[in-house]
Amino acid sequence: LEDGKAAAGPVAAAGPVAAEEDGSSNMDSDWSGAPSFPGSEVSEEWVPVDEGVKLRVITWKPTSSKSASTVVFVAGWGSLFEGWRPLISEWSSERTIVYIETREKKSSEISKKISESDFSVDKLSSDLVAVLRFYELESTQIDWYSSSLGSTILIDSFNCGRLSGRSSILLAPNSEFKFPFWAKALIVLPLPRFMYPIIVRLTVWAVERKVKEEGQRIRYRRALLSQDLQKMHLSARSLMKYSLPDNLDGISFPCAVMTASSDKLHGMDRAMDIIDRIPNCKFIEVPSNQYAHEADVIKEIHHFQLLE
């Protein structure tokens, strides 16, 4: 969802999505409920991170095995937990996992009037610090796992010294958020709410043309139809002005960028550029973006974290 460099086209071309819009965009069940898996105990909380802002955080703790260091999980822009279910359902039996949904997602509880500045990378980074403080977690002891926007937030936070880690796997990070011309026009305009369904149809159509992996396409379609569009609109306004610093020498602990050559939305070239900028960064190539959401990727994670 993060790249935005999808092909453009007329609203009419997105017509088939229209029938789903009314029934699918209000998927509240996607944004609440603590998924329970064998071998772990689960809890769900809305954690206060800022004035008038609470984030949904789900925690799994293994019931039998002695857990290694805690995994803190930060998913991508608007990402639904369901996309990560195959990985976490297996991983949660052996590791304590703290899954954080960032504030642009529908699950966040915001009781104040919101603006573009409420969704800056700096705000998202501060939220993560607040969650760690709430759970009394020391960032230097954490194994991070993140995707897309989540990876970008962490790189920024690591570089400026706001956060650290024992290790970090950064799936498909973005150095900047580029949108096609038609999307930029829609993002900067103060759009009335009746325009939101049109924007959703356009975006689904554009992303489905750009994304080649079937599993990735299905995840993004469901996520797009499940968003709070006011939050996402303001978030996009903020992100389109952001780019990672050129110098990432402030990162001083083991990091790896994970990506797939088949992931056309995020792009291998951009991932390799970030690898070159982070000191001693490793490269983990996976068969597909979907693979990084499934239990099979645990062996690559263990290998990088030297747990096997």
pLDDT for 42-56, tens place per residue?
A: 999 999 999 999 999
Structure confidence at residue 67 as a pLDDT band (50, 70, 90): low
Per the CB < 8 A criterion, the answer to whether 35 and 236 are in contact is no
What per-residue string of b and e applies to 122-158 under the rule 16 or more CB within 10 Å gives b? bbbbebbeebbeeeebebeebbbbbbbbbbbbbbbbb
User: pLDDT tier at 277 (50, 70, 90 boundaries)?
Assistant: very high
3-state secondary structure at position 192? coil
Q: Is the pLDDT of residue 266 over 90?
A: no
The pLDDT mean for the chain works out to 85
Decide the pairing of beta strands 143-147 and 167-171. Answer: parallel
Per-residue confidence (pLDDT) for residue 211, from 0 to 100: 66
Cα(246)–Cα(221) distance, integer angstroms:
32
pTM for the whole thing?
0.83
Measured CA distances, 32 to 43, 45, 57, 113 (Å): 11, 10, 10, 23
Mean pLDDT computed over 14-42: 65
Mean pLDDT of 267-276: 88
pLDDT at 98 over 70: yes
**Residue 13 predicted with pLDDT over 70:** no
Q: Among 81-85, 150-154, 211-215, 262-266, where is mean pLDDT lowest?
A: 262-266
Q: What is the Cα–Cα distance from 12 to 200, expressed in whole angstroms?
A: 12
Strands 167-171 and 255-259: parallel
**Better-predicted residue by pLDDT, 129 or 180:** 129
Q: How confident is the model at residue 207 (pLDDT cuts 50, 70, 90)?
A: low
Q: Which residues contact 58 (CB under 8 A, 6 or more apart)?
A: 34, 35, 42, 43, 44, 81, 98, 99
**Contact yes or no for 3/265 (Cβ under 8 A):** yes
Q: How many helices (H) and strands (E) does the chain have?
A: 10, 9
Q: What is the DSSP letter of 253?
A: S
Confidence band, pLDDT 50/70/90 cuts, at residue 175: very high
Q: What is the pLDDT of residue 213?
A: 66
Higher pLDDT, 27 or 18: 27
Domain residue ranges of the chain, discontinuous segments joined by +? 28-178+248-305
The pLDDT, as a whole number, for residue 179 is 74
Q: How high is the pLDDT of residue 198? A: 74
**Is residue 263's pLDDT more than 60?**
yes
pLDDT > 70 fraction of the chain, expressed in percent and rounded? 81
pLDDT for residue 265:
58
Query: Which CATH architecture group holds 28-178+248-305?
Result: 3-Layer(aba) Sandwich (3.40)
CA distance 67 to 64: 9
Q: Is the pLDDT of residue 6 over 70?
A: no
- Residue 22: pLDDT over 90: no
pLDDT at 190: 75
Residue 24 has pLDDT above 60, yes or no: no
User: Is 3 in a helix, a strand, or coil?
Assistant: coil
Q: Residue-wise over 219-231: b if at least 16 C-beta within 10 A, else e? A: bbbbbbbbbbbeb
Q: Is the pLDDT of residue 10 over 50?
A: no
Q: Calculate mean pLDDT across residues 233-256.
A: 95
- Residue position matching structure tokens 């993560």: 128
